Amino acid sequence: MKKLLRFYVYVKPSIWYLIGGLVCGALFGATSGFGMPVVFDKVLRKIFEDQGAAEQSVWYIVGIALLLPIVFSMRALFGYLSGYLMTYVSLEVLRKMKADVFAKIQSCPVAFFDKFTTGDLMTRLSSDTAVVQNILLNFSSEMFRQPLQALGAVAFLLYICFTKGEVVFLFFFIAAVPFCIFPVQVIRKNLKRYAGKSQVEASSMAQIMNENLDAVHEVRVFNLQDSQIEKFDSSNANFKRLCLKISKYELLQQPFMEVLSATLVSATFVYAYYGKIDFSTFAAIGVALYMTVDPAKRIIRMLSDLIKTAPLIDRINEILDYESTVPDPVNPVKVDGIRGELVFDKVCFSYNEKPVLIDASVTIPAGTSCALVGESGAGKSTFAKLAMRLYDPVSGSIKMDGISLKDFDKKTFASFLGSVPQYPVLFNDTVYNNILIARPDATREEVERAAKNACAHDFIMELENGYDTSVGKRGDKLSGGQKQRIAIARVFLKNPPFIVLDEATSALDSNSEAEIQKAVDNLMKDRTMLVIAHRFSTIKNVGMIIVFKEGRIIDCGTHEQLMERCEHYNHLYTRQTVKNSSFE
């Protein structure tokens, strides 16, 4: 029912095109299935069998003969209009479906991308929808024409059998029905099974390719070429095997229907011979049989295509029906701004049922710069993601200025948020536009001021076209440090009250790090900031430090306080200080 409702929503804007296509399809079926056998019967009878009667005028004979091209012309016209109108409807449905899938992905939380890989999503959005589009295009132009043509032909067979007293002939036709239905059921069952498996394997291949292209450096450094080739070849071979299975069942249909058609014609010929049926009647029956069997072949082929499409539509619906784990509230609070007081109260969170944050309780006053320290996997990044509401906690509550994050409209809350990830991603656009995304209404002067605050202006001006230089795919034309400074410039331009920095200076050389550290120090003033610290040298000016160990917050305070009372913090700090001094 849900699928039918969604289809109706997609079709509704094109409802008049659909009605027009149905009407033209009905007229096509009538002129093909019923009209053509009748014309053959009348034309042949008038021109050949009535030759002994009174001689007819030339115009009468020509008029009778013209019935055939007239019927063919009407058939062609209605077939064209039906095909065009239904194609329009199918393309509009597919356009809306693609738009909805893409829009749905934009609204999904980070947890969604833990479930669906990039390669799988690309396959669903591009390959799956493309296959559905091709099949629906063929189906839409034939879905009403062929069944109506077959019904028209069957109506003529009934008409001629009863008017000619040849009811026995109907048994030939009825006897053939089970031979059509049984193989269709067998084919349908197997096609659906192998079509679903083939799309899963196609997604697997896409993911392997995507990972390989993203890991060009690692593949070559660690000599992974052979293992990558083996992995791809294995998936490719499985995909080929599944496609062969699909092809095997598809290719059985055409020969079977052709043999069935020939058998029907032969039986009709034998019956017509012994039943003394005249040639015009026999010819009309032959045309009617063709107009019945040919659509049946096309219908079975369309059904096979639809069966192959069903798993693809299910895969697309899986995205459209995804229920967000971070939903928008029904009645969001209305706020114009935030001070930035962040409170975690007994917050627990798990990845795939594995606890990564346990009973986290802490209060970060508004305007406080706070560092998150601990060993890898201790829960620092999870704490920051929960604070940005990229995930919702399994239990406990998170509040900003006394308001639960679940009560904020997600877009409103994001407008108060700034973030610099450890490995920022730039769009394949100019430097200027990559900074401007933080605040699209900003002036060029404001963009350049943000770049200067982020110590990025000087290197930008040294680029070939300055701010109008394209950064390439994912910013590959820039160094890691340059990309981070552009990401920091975005935050300066947006100027949000709440910022999360994931070791924003990790990719910088010592000189750039000193400059960025000054900029970050300025950014800390009068705003709440979380700094995920991998190096203690970057947190010397923060007002508060939270220490994580095995998913728990074990202490918080200033550097001096923690050095005195927190053994784990003392150990982390001393170990890193000794390690750094050994390289000096």
- What is the band of 584 on the pLDDT scale with cuts at 50, 70, 90? very low
Q: What is the mean pLDDT of the chain?
A: 78
How many residues are there in the chain?
584
Q: Provide CATH code, domain 2-320.
A: 1.20.1560.10
Same fold, 2-320 and 335-416+497-584: no
The answer on pLDDT for 314 being more than 50 is yes
Please give the average per-residue pLDDT across 203-211, as a whole number. 78
- pLDDT digits over 94-131, tens only? 788 888 888 888 888 887 877 777 777 877 777 777 77
What's the pLDDT score for residue 12?
Answer: 76
Please give the average per-residue pLDDT across 200-229, as a whole number. 76
Q: Provide CATH code, domain 424-495.
A: 3.40.50.300
What's the pLDDT score for residue 4?
Answer: 59
The answer on pLDDT for 305 being more than 50 is yes
The answer on pLDDT for 443 being more than 90 is yes
Would you kindly state where each structural domain of the chain is located, as residue ranges? Answer: 2-320, 335-416+497-584, 424-495
The answer on pLDDT for 13 being more than 90 is no
Query: From CA 305, how far away is CA 136, in angstroms rounded?
Result: 9
Please give the average per-residue pLDDT across 144-155, as a whole number. 71
Q: Are 193 and 311 in contact (CB under 8 A)?
A: no
What's the pLDDT score for residue 582?
Answer: 44
- What is the band of 344 on the pLDDT scale with cuts at 50, 70, 90? very high
Task: Give the best-scoring range by mean pLDDT among 117-121, 142-146, 344-348.
Answer: 344-348
Which residue has better confidence, 105 or 451? Answer: 451
What's the pLDDT score for residue 47?
Answer: 60
What's the pLDDT score for residue 399?
Answer: 94
The answer on pLDDT for 362 being more than 90 is yes
Percent of the chain with pLDDT over 90: 18
Q: State the Rg of the chain over Cα.
A: 36
* 37-51, 70-84, 300-314: least confident range: 37-51
Amino acid at 494: K
Q: Are 17 and 88 in contact (CB under 8 A)?
A: yes
- pLDDT digits over 541-557, tens only? 788 999 999 999 999 99
The answer on pLDDT for 335 being more than 60 is yes
The answer on pLDDT for 442 being more than 80 is yes
559-567's contacts with Cβ under 8 Å and 24+ in sequence apart are none
297-302's contacts with Cβ under 8 Å and 24+ in sequence apart are 297/253, 297/254, 297/257, 297/258, 297/261, 298/142, 298/146, 299/142, 299/146, 299/147, 299/150, 300/180, 300/184, 300/187, 300/253, 300/257, 301/250, 301/253, 301/254, 302/138, 302/139, 302/142, 302/143, 302/146
- pLDDT digits over 387-421, tens only? 999 899 999 999 999 999 999 998 899 899 988 88
Please give the average per-residue pLDDT across 127-150, as a whole number. 70
Q: Is 266 exposed, middle or buried (0-12, 13-18, 19+ CB in 10 A)?
A: exposed
The answer on pLDDT for 497 being more than 70 is yes
The answer on pLDDT for 359 being more than 90 is yes
Provide DSSP, 545-579: EEEEETTEEEEEE-HHHHHHH-HHHHHHHHHHHHH
| pTM of the model as a whole | 0.69
* Edge-to-edge strands, sheet with 403-404: 354-364, 342-351, 395-400, 403-404
Which residue has better confidence, 10 or 453? Answer: 453
Domain 335-416+497-584 top-level CATH class: alpha beta
* 287-296, 394-403, 423-432, 496-505: least confident range: 287-296
The answer on pLDDT for 160 being more than 90 is no
Q: Would residue 276 be called left, alpha or beta, if left means φ above 0 and alpha means ψ between -120 and 50 degrees?
A: left
